[in-house]
Protein backbone atom coordinates (compact mmCIF):
# COMPACT_ATOMS: atom_id res chain seq x y z
CA UNK A 1 0.00 0.00 0.00
CA UNK A 2 1.54 3.31 -1.09
CA UNK A 3 -1.22 5.87 -0.62
CA UNK A 4 -3.46 6.64 2.30
CA UNK A 5 -6.90 5.04 1.71
CA UNK A 6 -8.52 7.88 3.71
CA UNK A 7 -6.91 11.01 2.28
CA UNK A 8 -4.77 9.78 -0.65
CA UNK A 9 -1.46 11.24 0.60
CA UNK A 10 1.69 9.19 -0.03
CA UNK A 11 2.40 7.00 2.99
CA UNK A 12 5.68 7.36 4.83
CA UNK A 13 7.57 4.88 6.97
CA UNK A 14 7.31 5.75 10.66
CA UNK A 15 8.00 3.95 13.85
CA UNK A 16 4.84 2.87 15.59
CA UNK A 17 4.72 0.40 18.45
CA UNK A 18 8.37 -0.56 17.94
CA UNK A 19 8.07 -1.27 14.21
CA UNK A 20 8.43 0.73 11.04
CA UNK A 21 4.96 1.05 9.55
CA UNK A 22 3.57 2.84 6.52
CA UNK A 23 1.76 5.80 8.00
CA UNK A 24 -0.10 8.84 6.72
CA UNK A 25 1.98 12.03 7.16
CA UNK A 26 -1.18 14.01 7.93
CA UNK A 27 -1.53 14.15 11.72
CA UNK A 28 -5.28 14.86 11.47
CA UNK A 29 -5.79 11.72 9.37
CA UNK A 30 -3.50 9.45 11.38
CA UNK A 31 -3.96 6.36 9.22
CA UNK A 32 -1.45 3.55 9.89
CA UNK A 33 -1.15 0.56 7.57
CA UNK A 34 -0.68 -2.35 9.99
CA UNK A 35 -0.45 -4.95 7.23
CA UNK A 36 -2.13 -7.61 9.36
CA UNK A 37 -2.15 -11.19 8.05
CA UNK A 38 -5.21 -12.33 6.13
CA UNK A 39 -7.07 -15.42 7.32
CA UNK A 40 -6.98 -18.37 4.95
CA UNK A 41 -9.13 -21.45 5.44
CA UNK A 42 -7.85 -24.86 4.41
CA UNK A 43 -9.28 -28.37 4.20
CA UNK A 44 -7.39 -31.62 4.49
CA UNK A 45 -9.88 -33.53 2.39
CA UNK A 46 -10.39 -37.27 2.76
CA UNK A 47 -12.26 -38.69 -0.22
CA UNK A 48 -12.68 -42.41 -0.94
CA UNK A 49 -9.62 -43.35 1.10
CA UNK A 50 -7.34 -40.71 -0.38
CA UNK A 51 -6.25 -37.24 0.65
CA UNK A 52 -6.77 -34.66 -2.07
CA UNK A 53 -3.96 -32.25 -2.92
CA UNK A 54 -4.39 -29.49 -5.46
CA UNK A 55 -2.16 -27.31 -7.57
CA UNK A 56 -3.45 -23.86 -8.41
CA UNK A 57 -2.85 -22.27 -11.80
CA UNK A 58 0.36 -20.28 -11.65
CA UNK A 59 1.99 -22.51 -9.04
CA UNK A 60 5.19 -24.36 -9.96
CA UNK A 61 4.66 -27.83 -11.49
CA UNK A 62 5.53 -29.76 -8.34
CA UNK A 63 3.72 -27.62 -5.79
CA UNK A 64 0.61 -29.15 -4.33
CA UNK A 65 -1.28 -28.02 -1.27
CA UNK A 66 -4.52 -28.51 0.57
CA UNK A 67 -7.76 -27.08 -0.71
CA UNK A 68 -7.61 -23.50 0.57
CA UNK A 69 -8.64 -19.92 0.03
CA UNK A 70 -9.34 -16.62 1.72
CA UNK A 71 -12.06 -16.50 4.32
CA UNK A 72 -14.93 -14.31 3.16
CA UNK A 73 -17.06 -11.83 5.03
CA UNK A 74 -20.01 -13.34 6.86
CA UNK A 75 -18.90 -16.96 6.91
CA UNK A 76 -17.41 -18.98 9.74
CA UNK A 77 -14.00 -20.56 9.07
CA UNK A 78 -15.64 -24.01 8.81
CA UNK A 79 -18.17 -22.68 6.29
CA UNK A 80 -15.34 -21.09 4.32
CA UNK A 81 -13.42 -24.37 4.18
CA UNK A 82 -16.50 -26.20 2.87
CA UNK A 83 -17.11 -23.45 0.30
CA UNK A 84 -13.53 -23.79 -0.96
CA UNK A 85 -14.04 -27.56 -1.13
CA UNK A 86 -17.04 -27.03 -3.40
CA UNK A 87 -15.31 -24.37 -5.53
CA UNK A 88 -12.00 -26.16 -6.02
CA UNK A 89 -12.97 -29.82 -6.38
CA UNK A 90 -16.78 -29.76 -6.67
CA UNK A 91 -17.42 -31.87 -3.57
CA UNK A 92 -19.75 -31.64 -0.60
CA UNK A 93 -18.24 -32.45 2.75
CA UNK A 94 -18.42 -32.26 6.50
CA UNK A 95 -15.91 -30.91 8.96
CA UNK A 96 -14.49 -33.62 11.22
CA UNK A 97 -12.47 -31.25 13.38
CA UNK A 98 -10.18 -28.24 13.50
CA UNK A 99 -6.60 -29.37 12.83
CA UNK A 100 -4.91 -26.17 13.90
CA UNK A 101 -4.13 -22.53 13.22
CA UNK A 102 -0.80 -21.80 11.55
CA UNK A 103 1.21 -18.73 10.73
CA UNK A 104 2.48 -18.32 7.18
CA UNK A 105 4.57 -15.18 7.46
CA UNK A 106 6.09 -15.46 3.97
CA UNK A 107 2.64 -14.74 2.54
CA UNK A 108 1.36 -12.71 5.49
CA UNK A 109 -1.43 -15.20 6.11
CA UNK A 110 -2.89 -17.15 9.02
CA UNK A 111 -4.12 -20.58 8.00
CA UNK A 112 -7.11 -22.13 9.77
CA UNK A 113 -7.12 -25.79 8.76
CA UNK A 114 -9.83 -28.42 9.12
CA UNK A 115 -10.04 -32.14 8.57
CA UNK A 116 -12.93 -32.65 6.15
CA UNK A 117 -14.60 -35.80 4.85
CA UNK A 118 -15.97 -35.38 1.35
CA UNK A 119 -18.12 -37.40 -0.98
CA UNK A 120 -19.35 -37.20 -4.55
CA UNK A 121 -17.74 -36.88 -7.95
CA UNK A 122 -14.70 -34.66 -8.27
CA UNK A 123 -15.02 -31.74 -10.64
CA UNK A 124 -12.10 -29.33 -10.70
CA UNK A 125 -12.85 -25.63 -10.40
CA UNK A 126 -11.34 -22.92 -12.57
CA UNK A 127 -8.57 -22.08 -10.10
CA UNK A 128 -7.22 -25.61 -10.06
CA UNK A 129 -4.65 -26.81 -12.59
CA UNK A 130 -4.14 -30.33 -11.26
CA UNK A 131 -5.35 -32.73 -8.58
CA UNK A 132 -3.46 -35.48 -6.82
CA UNK A 133 -5.05 -38.31 -4.82
CA UNK A 134 -2.62 -39.56 -2.19
CA UNK A 135 -3.01 -42.52 0.16
CA UNK A 136 -2.63 -41.29 3.76
CA UNK A 137 0.35 -43.57 4.38
CA UNK A 138 2.13 -42.00 1.41
CA UNK A 139 1.39 -38.43 2.40
CA UNK A 140 4.53 -36.41 3.23
CA UNK A 141 4.07 -33.02 4.89
CA UNK A 142 5.93 -29.99 3.57
CA UNK A 143 7.45 -27.59 6.09
CA UNK A 144 5.40 -24.46 5.37
CA UNK A 145 1.86 -23.28 4.72
CA UNK A 146 -0.79 -26.00 4.77
CA UNK A 147 1.92 -28.67 5.16
CA UNK A 148 1.91 -27.96 8.90
CA UNK A 149 -1.72 -29.12 9.10
CA UNK A 150 -0.81 -32.28 7.18
CA UNK A 151 1.94 -33.02 9.73
CA UNK A 152 -0.46 -32.55 12.64
CA UNK A 153 -3.12 -34.74 11.03
CA UNK A 154 -0.61 -37.52 10.39
CA UNK A 155 0.71 -37.28 13.97
CA UNK A 156 -2.73 -37.66 15.53
CA UNK A 157 -3.74 -40.39 13.10
CA UNK A 158 -1.16 -42.67 14.73
* Cβ atoms < 10 Å from Cβ of 132: 11
At closest approach, how far in Å is the CB of 126 from Zn ion? 37
Q: Compare residues 6 and 107 and give the one whose CB is closer to Zn ion.
A: 6
Nearest-angstrom CA–CA distance, 89 and 24: 43
Supply angle C-alpha 93, 48, 59, rounded to 5. Answer: 75
Q: Is residue 14 a contact point for Zn ion (CB under 5 A)? A: no
3-state secondary structure of 74: coil
Q: How far is the CB of 27 from Zn ion (least distance, A)?
A: 10
Residues 18-37 that bind Zn ion (CB under 5 A): 24, 26, 29, 31
Q: Does 4 bind Zn ion (CB under 5 A)?
A: yes
| End-to-end CA gap in the chain | 45
Residue 10 binding Zn ion, by CB under 5 A: no
For Zn ion, the binding residues (CB under 5 A) are 4, 6-7, 24, 26, 29, 31
Amino acid sequence: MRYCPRCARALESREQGGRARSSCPDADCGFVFYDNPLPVVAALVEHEGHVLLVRNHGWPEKWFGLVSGFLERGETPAEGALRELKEEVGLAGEVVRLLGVYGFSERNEVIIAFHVRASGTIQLGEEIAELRKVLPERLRPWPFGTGQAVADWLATRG
